[in-house]
């Protein structure tokens, strides 16, 4: 489920824009991004394995940092997740239009949002089976894609185009925009790995978390390192980086260079499954955060109502907003995806910084309570502070890509607005408690 939440349209569609910013050196952006993502996942896993309270990072932030952080962080997570899932729905619409070009994108994006909302009414066992199946489909298919492109680069499969190291190092070279290009791509790269919250939110329902969570982290990080890194080399080894498509999938564009069209058609279906899988995992996490906000009185109490362990009211609210935001494709059919993707980048990093900051504060408190840490972040606290520094540096790269300045401002404005909302709320609660 963790891999399923990570591998979505950020890899299969937004990577085209990222490659145009960094060129072949996008592999460095990906490797840095996976390293930052792994640091955040380890911090979340340490707390999730030690304290299996429902609500994951939100509950931990509430205990360690105080109700103000959990209020702002919870609503930022919920709002940015809705935008993120809507971006996936729009990407799904773009992929589906390959087969039905006359149908508007909004029809598919709204339809996928409604289907995913329905899936999240399933029991946890039924949900996990659906998600696991879809995750395996895209992992296997992406692996086969990498193998096929490596065969092409090795001249074992014929294509009528220049490929391989000729494209990696031809003028202006492997670093066409220098270090600036690597930095400019970071927000998009980290967006493609933003669906990690499902790990902590699923932890309360995991048996033997001390074994399962550690193994999950190791397998997830290795899988993402290999798949993202090799995919970057494969794409830039077959398509000139400056001509990388940004409104269709670079993966299908690469396969379309084969003499037969069926691999491109099949992979378009696979990445559609990948998008639906990422939406599915994302809404799972989003619903449980909204339900947690209801339990800690930061949202109306009725959104926390559950049936058979499923936060049905939270799913209903999240699903309704998701469908409405997905309809944005009706008004902005060509740019809705880009706006939605970049709007979530800063907010996702804000949540990651809050998660690692919570771990720095929460770990000593857990140890003082005699809590056994079944999984530990190494080199505490220096490793965690390094993670925060790298995340802050990633946010600072936003001005390097002009299209990210407006979303950065929007993200900061949302955080400031929620902070302003909480200040009078805090005073009301103090008066009520006295």
pLDDT value for 392: 92
Asked if the model's pLDDT at residue 334 lies above 70, the reply is: no
pLDDT value for 165: 65
Cis amide leading into 381 (omega within 30) = yes
Q: What is the pLDDT of residues 303-321, one digit of tens each?
A: 988 887 788 899 999 999 9
Q: Which two tokens stand for residue 79?
A: 């709002």
* Range of 20-24, 80-84, 125-129 with top mean pLDDT: 20-24
Tell me what the pLDDT averaged over the chain comes to. 82
Task: Give CA–CA dist 115/92, Å, rounded.
Answer: 12
pLDDT value for 203: 59
Least confident of 13-22, 293-302, 369-378: 369-378
Distant-in-sequence contacts of 310-314, Cβ < 8 A, 24+ apart:
310/120, 310/121, 310/122, 310/123, 310/124, 311/287, 312/121, 314/287, 314/288, 314/290
Asked if the model's pLDDT at residue 91 lies above 70, the reply is: yes
What is the mean predicted confidence (pLDDT) over 200-205? 60
pLDDT value for 10: 79
**Residues 414 and 74 sit within 8 Å (Cβ to Cβ):** no
- What is the Cα 107 distance to its own chain's centre? 24
Asked if the model's pLDDT at residue 55 lies above 60, the reply is: no
pLDDT band at 387 (very low <50, low <70, confident <90, very high): very high
What is the value of pTM for the model shown?
A: 0.84
Give 242 or 215, the one with higher predicted confidence: 242
Tell me the CATH architecture of domain 2-433. Up-down Bundle (1.20)
Q: What is the pLDDT of residues 8-51, one digit of tens each?
A: 777 888 888 899 999 999 999 999 999 998 898 888 888 877 77
Instruction: Residue 30: count other Cβ atoms within 10 Å of its Cβ.
Output: 29
pLDDT value for 342: 67
Stretch (H or E) spanning 199: helix 197-202
What is the mean predicted confidence (pLDDT) over 322-338? 73
Residue whose pair of structure tokens reads 């939100």 in the numeric block:
58
What is the mean predicted confidence (pLDDT) over 143-166? 72
pLDDT band at 125 (very low <50, low <70, confident <90, very high): low
pLDDT value for 333: 58
Task: Give CA–CA dist 4/116, Å, rounded.
Answer: 14
pLDDT value for 202: 61
Each domain of the chain, given as residue ranges in start order, spans 2-433
Give 74 or 207, the one with higher predicted confidence: 74
Stretch (H or E) spanning 95: helix 67-96
Beta strands, E only, 8-91? none
What is the mean predicted confidence (pLDDT) over 285-297? 87
* Range of 68-77, 190-199, 399-408 with top mean pLDDT: 68-77
Task: Give CA–CA dist 15/190, Å, rounded.
Answer: 11
Beta carbons within 8 Å of 401's beta carbon, 6+ residues apart:
21, 184, 185, 187, 188
Beta bridge partner(s), residue 310: 307
Task: Give CA–CA dist 160/152, Å, rounded.
Answer: 10
């Amino acid at each position: 489920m963790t891999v399923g939440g990570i591998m979505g349209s950020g890899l299969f569609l937004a990577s085209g824009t990222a490659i145009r910013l960094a060129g072949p050196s996008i592999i460095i952006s990906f490797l840095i991004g996976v390293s930052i993502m792994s640091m955040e996942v380890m911090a979340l896993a340490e707390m999730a394995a030690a304290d299996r309270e429902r609500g994951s990072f939100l509950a931990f932030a509430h205990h360690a940092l105080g109700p103000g952080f959990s209020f702002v962080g919870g609503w930022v997570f919920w709002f940015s997740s809705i935008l993120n899932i809507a971006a996936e729905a729009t990407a799904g619409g773009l992929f589906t239009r390959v087969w039905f070009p006359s149908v508007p994108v909004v029809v598919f994006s709204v339809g996928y949002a409604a289907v995913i909302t329905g899936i999240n009414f399933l029991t946890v066992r039924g949900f996990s089976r659906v998600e696991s199946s879809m995750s395996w489909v895209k992992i296997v298919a992406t692996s086969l894609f990498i193998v096929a492109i490596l065969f092409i680069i090795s001249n074992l499969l014929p294509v009528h185009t220049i490929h391989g190291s000729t494209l990696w190092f031809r003028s202006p070279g492997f670093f066409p925009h220098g270090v600036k290009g690597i930095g400019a791509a970071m927000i998009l790269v980290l967006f493609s790995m933003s669906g990690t919250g499902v790990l902590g939110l699923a932890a309360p329902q995991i048996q033997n978390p001390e074994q399962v969570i550690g193994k999950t982290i190791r397998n997830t990080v290795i899988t993402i390192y290999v798949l993202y890194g090799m995919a970057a080399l494969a794409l830039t080894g077959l398509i000139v980086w400056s001509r990388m498509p940004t409104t269709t999938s670079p993966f299908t564009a690469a396969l379309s260079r084969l003499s037969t069209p069926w691999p491109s058609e099949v992979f378009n279906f696979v990445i559609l499954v990948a998008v639906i899988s990422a939406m599915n995992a994302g809404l799972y996490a989003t619903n449980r955060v909204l339900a947690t906000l209801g339990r800690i009185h930061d949202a109306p109490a009725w959104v926390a109502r559950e049936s058979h362990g499923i936060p049905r009211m939270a799913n209903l609210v999240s699903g309704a907003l998701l469908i409405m935001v997905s309809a944005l494709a009706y008004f902005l059919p060509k740019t809705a995806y880009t706006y939605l993707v970049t709007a979530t980048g800063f907010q996702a990093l804000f949540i990651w910084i809050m998660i690692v900051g919570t771990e720095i504060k929460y770990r000593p408190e857990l140890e003082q309570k005699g809590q056994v840490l079944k999984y530990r972040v190494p080199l505490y606290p220096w490793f965690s502070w390094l993670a925060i520094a790298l995340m802050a540096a990633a946010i600072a790269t936003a001005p390097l890509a002009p299209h990210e300045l407006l979303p950065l401002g929007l993200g900061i404005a949302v955080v400031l607005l929620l902070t302003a909302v909480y200040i009078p709320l805090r005073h009301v609660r103090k008066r009520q408690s006295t």
